[in-house]
Amino acid sequence: MEKDTVIKIALTAVLSVYLVFALAMTGAAERSDRFSGLSINVIDSIGSGFVTKDDVAKECDGLYSIIASSPRETINLQELETRILDMPVVEHVNVATLCDGSLHIDVSPMVPVARVFDPSGKSYYINASGKRVVADARYHVDVPVVIGNFDTGRMRAAQLLPMLSHIAADPTLNALVSTVTLSKRGDILIIPVIRGQVINFGDNDNVNDKFARLKSFYTEVMPRRGWNAYDTISVKWAGQGVASRREKSLGQLFLQTEESEFDFIDDLSTMTPDADGFVDDSKDPDASVTN
C-alpha cells in the first residue's frame, strides 16, 4: 500500500472521529444552551393596569429565574404562551425568540366593553369575546355599566356583547352610554349620560340599524328641540324612532334596574309623533312613526 494512500486513510479516520466528537459536543451544547435574557412588554393601550410584567412572571412560577437557569429545550414556548393567555386579565400574547438569543413576550391586557354589576353586589369586567375579570380596587376602566342578574336571569351578559362591542367601537356612543339594564319584559334599556333619559333598545337584533336611528335622533332632533325636551326614546320597533316629551321637571335621578318596569316606553299606542317624526305630548293614540 502506497504511503499517500495510508495517509489519506488515516486522515479520513481522524476526521471521522473528530466529526462524531464535534457533533456530540454541539448537541450537548445546544441542550445546555440558555436564553440570553427575558423581556416582557405590556401593551396597555387604554391604561387599565389589569396586568404588569411582574404579574406575568409570577403567573409562570417565577419566569425570570426559570429563563436564567433552564436550558432552552426544557422551555415549551407554545405552552408558555397558552399559560399566559389563560390569565383572565390577558387578551393577547405573543412569545418569540429574538436575534440576540433572548426571549421576548408581548402581552396585551383584556380590553373591557362593560362592567357588570349583579344583585348580589358582585362586579366584573367583560370583553368583546365574553372573557371576564373580577373588578378590583387596583384598577378602574371607564366603560358602560351593565346592571342585572345576567347569570341566572333571562339574558346572559354575553348575549349583550354585539351591542356592547358596537358601543365600544364607536367613540360617540361610548361617550353617550352610561348604563345598560333590562326591563321585566326583557327589553334592553340604555341609560345615557344625559340626565333623566331612558332609551328602550328592545332586543339584541339589528344592532347597527337601531344605533343609526338613535344617533340620528341625538344629532338631528335633540339640538333643535333641547337636550331636556324628551325623557324617553325608543328604537325598539323596526324602522321606527319614537320619543315622548318630558312632563316633569328633572328631580333626583334614580338608576333603574332589572326590577323596574318601563311601561311608558314599551307601549307604542301611548306615543305620538311630532314634526320631527318623534313623539311629543299630543294625544293622538293612532299615530305611528316610520323612518
- The per-residue pLDDT for 18 is 56
Residue for grid cell 324612532: 241
- The per-residue pLDDT for 139 is 79
Tens-place pLDDT, residues 34-86: 899 999 999 998 888 888 999 999 888 888 988 888 998 899 999 999 999 99
Distance CA 36, CA 13 (A): 37
In degrees and rounded to multiples of 5, residue 66 shows phi and psi of: -65, -45
User: Which amino acid is residue 218, in one-letter code?
Assistant: Y
Residue for grid cell 409562570: 60
- The per-residue pLDDT for 1 is 53
Asked if residues 205 and 286 have their Cβ atoms less than 8 Å apart, the reply is no
- The per-residue pLDDT for 76 is 92
- The per-residue pLDDT for 162 is 85
Tens-place pLDDT, residues 226-240: 777 788 888 888 777
Region of residue 123 (left: phi > 0; alpha: psi -120 to 50; beta: else): beta
- The per-residue pLDDT for 3 is 59
- The per-residue pLDDT for 282 is 35
Domains and CATH numbers, the chain: 38-108 (3.10.20), 112-280 (3.40.50.11690)
Asked if residues 91 and 131 have their Cβ atoms less than 8 Å apart, the reply is yes
* pTM for this predicted structure: 0.63
**Closest Cα partner for 258 from 162, 154, 168, 160?**
154
- The per-residue pLDDT for 210 is 92
- The per-residue pLDDT for 290 is 36
Distance CA 83, CA 247 (A): 57
How far separated are the first and last CA of the chain, in Å rounded?
105
- The per-residue pLDDT for 251 is 47
Q: Count CB neighbours of 9 within 10 A.
A: 11
Q: Which residues pair with 40 in a beta bridge?
A: 105
Which regions in the chain score pLDDT beneath 50? 25-31, 249-291
